[in-house]
Amino acid sequence: MRLTFVHCTNRAYADTQMFGIHFMPVWAYTLAAHLEALPDVQLVLFDDRFEARATIGEADLFLFTGINQDFEAIAQLGEELRLRFPRAKYAIGGPVCWSFQTAGKIERLARFDYVFVGDGEEALPEFILALKSGRPVPRIIAAPQRFDLSKALPMHRRLLAQTVHRYYGAIVEVSRGCPFLCEFCDIRVLPDNNRSHIKDPALIVSELDALWDLNVRQVLFACDNFIGSHGWAEDVCDAIHAWMQATGKRMSLYTWLTIDLSRHPRLLSKLRMAGFDMFFIGVESFNRSSLLETAKLQNTALGMAEAVRGIQSYGFIVVAGLIMGFDTDPDDITEVMLDGILRSGLISGDPSLLTALPGTPLYKRMQLSGRLRDAKLGLGGFKYQTNIKYLRPVDRIRADFKSFVRRFNQGAYQYSRLLAFYSCMEAPQYQPPRTSGYADLRRLLRLVFRNSRYLYLLVLRFAMLVRSPVRVFYILRAVILTLRKHSSQRPHWFYLKFWLFNWSNSILKYSSLSDADFDIDSVESNFNRENILPLGYEESSEEQVAASKVRAQRNATVKALKIFIGQGH
């Protein structure tokens, strides 16, 4: 049986958000490993970002995956292939299937012969065996529970070796699940996902070792929250550190985690020793009531700026997820966010507008109050084409977003950010990087130089940066400041490169942002404000989460919204 994994993404989105940096299709290497033992199965990986569609060969089964953003591109390629290979079967899995199913729109996937919802490690081999033996299989195949990650296999070695060089570094999935309960998050609502499912640290180290031999030096640890289980996170760091000591090999690591890390100095030190140098953290907002509204309580337990500075004081860079468009966002949200970023010393981070992912309490609240809209499949997950009706007028939200990115990209503001970051580095606990860093410019450039389109974007990035004399002035100031401060113990150059790369990214991303890029809406002028907390929101829940936890989230959200409604804004 010939089986082709098809990785297909929305090219426009990739061009404007990623600028030539492509990440590997972990799903394909992961699932391929679980098919290896099946007799007479030939595996091929096709990645639309690198290969011409005309080169796709005939197969018996084409397997697609996707996130919501990519769905239109995937569906189109699926149609093309069906015309060329009408006898083949077509299957799809991944986050988009979960989103469609939870939104009650699974029929939108009707053009696929089979739809997989949930983890595929066990479901896919069983399905293929059934298909080969002619046994009947349902069209929608839902995994009954999360795959037990203690049974995880190393990623498929042959496919990895053949293709890994095309991507930026590598990705190793290390855990699934997160113990928190943010209102807008669809990670917590996946079945049995409100706790950590962890891989054996020894398997993680063996993946790193195999990747090192393939000349990979940058690794992204895919998970929902790396410190969902603190004890395990420490064990992983210890195992990596022991591997580094024994072999002299070392990787630059990047992962997702939560702000409560700032309260754990021993874990912070261990993460540093293991080679981590960047963390993505959902900071979301510097407005306290917005965080309470979304029940991101871990972000309110400490002062946000102090917590980010505390983490960065060890030498890490915090890449912040930032969201605007919460119900309780004040009219001066732009000021609040810009001020918060400066106080935290953040040199990275990107804003989005709040969207409601299917299955989340936020989605339910929007649905019950008639605030859901059908933009872009109605599934949420897009940056500024969103599926909810905001409370603040749409013109204000658009103007705020644009004002935010304009001021964010100004030289004086960027310079102040850098200064604030450098002040974090003065702490006694600071530890210099031991590697070239996760965001290694030389490696990034090597990828970009292979593709004329991305090379053009690179030239454009620098042209835009130096076109403004004010920007050039602040870059020179930053260089002088860095020269004055740099030492081997505190290598400021390392961070200056990252700051410049990020700033130029942001200029490139937002310079052409216009009203036409937004597809957003607000509630009608006669919207009853009591409906911010619609009837039914506080009642039933289909989540497989302990009732007390669900209540805790709802109580936080309800309390914040009641105060807001009472204030009669």
Contact set with ligand B12 (CB under 6 A): 9, 13-14, 17-18, 23, 25-27, 30-31, 63, 65, 67-70, 91-96, 99, 116, 119-121, 123-124, 147, 171, 173, 176, 186-187, 222-224, 256, 352, 381, 383
- With CB under 6 A as the contact rule, the residue among 63, 117, 185, 448 that binds ligand SF4 is 185
Reading the block at residue 407, the tokens are 């001021």
Q: Are 226 and 253 in contact (CB under 8 A)?
A: no
Interaction of residue 119 with ligand SF4, rule CB under 6 A: no
Beta carbons within 8 Å of 23's beta carbon, 6+ residues apart: 167, 168, 171, 220
Output 131 or 342, the one with its CB closest to ligand B12.
131
Beta strands in 239-354 (DSSP E): 252-257, 276-284, 317-324, 348-353
Reading the block at residue 520, the tokens are 């957003």
* Least distance from ligand SF4 to the Cβ atom of residue 469, Å: 41
Output 51 or 238, the one with its CB closest to ligand B12.
51
Output 152 or 178, the one with its CB closest to ligand SF4.
178
509 SS3 class: helix
Choose among ligand SF4, ligand B12, none what residue 116 binds, the Cβ cut-off being 5 to 8 Å by kind: ligand B12
510-543 per-residue burial string, b: 16 or more CB within 10 A, e: under 16: beebeeebbebbbbeeeeeeeebbbeebeeebeb
Output 102 or 289, the one with its CB closest to ligand B12.
102
Choose among ligand B12, ligand SF4, none what residue 258 binds, the Cβ cut-off being 5 to 8 Å by kind: ligand SF4
Binding mask 495-514 for ligand SF4 (x = CB under 6 A): --------------------
Interaction of residue 320 with ligand SF4, rule CB under 6 A: no
Report the site for ligand SF4 in 199-258 (rule: CB under 6 A).
Answer: 224-225, 258
Choose among ligand SF4, ligand B12, none what residue 173 binds, the Cβ cut-off being 5 to 8 Å by kind: ligand B12
Indicate the residue type of 551.
Answer: R
Report the site for ligand SF4 in 273-302 (rule: CB under 6 A).
Answer: 282
Long-range (24+ apart) CB contacts under 8 A made by 208-212 are: 208/172, 208/240, 208/243, 208/249, 208/251, 209/243, 209/247, 209/249, 210/154, 210/157, 210/160, 211/160, 211/164, 211/170, 211/172, 211/251, 212/249, 212/251
Output 227 or 458, the one with its CB closest to ligand SF4.
227
Distance CA 12, CA 76 (A): 14
In sign, the C-alpha dihedral spanning 357, 361, 363, 364 is positive
Choose among ligand SF4, ligand B12, none what residue 337 binds, the Cβ cut-off being 5 to 8 Å by kind: none
Output 93 or 411, the one with its CB closest to ligand B12.
93
What are the beta bridge partners of residue 5? 45, 63
Tokens 């036409």 — which residue? 516
Stretch that binds ligand SF4, among 185-193, 303-311, 367-375, 478-486 (CB under 6 A): 185-193
* Least distance from ligand B12 to the Cβ atom of residue 176, Å: 6
Output 195 or 477, the one with its CB closest to ligand SF4.
195
Q: How many residues lie near ligand SF4 (CB under 6 A)?
A: 11
Choose among ligand B12, ligand SF4, none what residue 225 binds, the Cβ cut-off being 5 to 8 Å by kind: ligand SF4
Interaction of residue 180 with ligand SF4, rule CB under 6 A: yes
The angle at the Cα of 364, spanning 362 to 367, to the nearest 5 degrees, equals 110
* Least distance from ligand B12 to the Cβ atom of residue 170, Å: 10
Beta strands in 444-528 (DSSP E): 519-522
Output 43 or 478, the one with its CB closest to ligand B12.
43
Distance CA 451, CA 443 (A): 14
Output 164 or 357, the one with its CB closest to ligand SF4.
357
Stretch that binds ligand SF4, among 174-182, 232-240, 302-310, 437-445 (CB under 6 A): 174-182
Tokens 């988009």 — which residue? 96
* Least distance from ligand SF4 to the Cβ atom of residue 73, Å: 26
Output 181 or 274, the one with its CB closest to ligand SF4.
181
Would you give the distance in Å from CA 532 to the centre of its chain? 28
Choose among ligand B12, ligand SF4, none what residue 128 binds, the Cβ cut-off being 5 to 8 Å by kind: none
Choose among ligand B12, ligand SF4, none what residue 411 binds, the Cβ cut-off being 5 to 8 Å by kind: none
* Least distance from ligand SF4 to the Cβ atom of residue 281, Å: 9
Stretch that binds ligand SF4, among 178-186, 326-334, 394-402, 554-562 (CB under 6 A): 178-186
Long-range (24+ apart) CB contacts under 8 A made by 139-145 are: 139/113, 139/114, 139/115, 140/101, 140/106, 140/114, 140/115, 141/114, 141/115, 141/116, 141/117, 142/101, 142/116, 142/117, 142/118, 143/116, 143/117, 143/118, 143/119, 145/191, 145/192
Output 326 or 421, the one with its CB closest to ligand SF4.
326
* Least distance from ligand B12 to the Cβ atom of residue 151, Å: 12
Q: Are 556 and 292 in contact (CB under 8 A)?
A: yes
Task: Calculate the CA dihedral of residues 385, 391, 396, 400 and round it to 10 degrees.
Answer: -70
Interaction of residue 188 with ligand SF4, rule CB under 6 A: yes
Distances (CA, A) of 134 to 90, 131, 286: 16, 5, 57
Output 167 or 474, the one with its CB closest to ligand B12.
167
Rg of the chain over CA atoms, in angstroms? 24
* Least distance from ligand B12 to the Cβ atom of residue 474, Å: 27
Interaction of residue 543 with ligand SF4, rule CB under 6 A: no
Choose among ligand SF4, ligand B12, none what residue 281 binds, the Cβ cut-off being 5 to 8 Å by kind: none
Q: Annotate 241-256 with DSSP letters as a single string.
A: HHHHHHH----EEEEE
- Identify which of 196, 205, 202 has the alpha carbon closest to the alpha carbon of residue 231: 196
Output 70 or 400, the one with its CB closest to ligand B12.
70
Choose among ligand SF4, ligand B12, none what residue 188 binds, the Cβ cut-off being 5 to 8 Å by kind: ligand SF4
Which residues of this protein are in contact with ligand SF4, per CB under 6 A?
A: 178, 180-182, 185, 187-188, 224-225, 258, 282
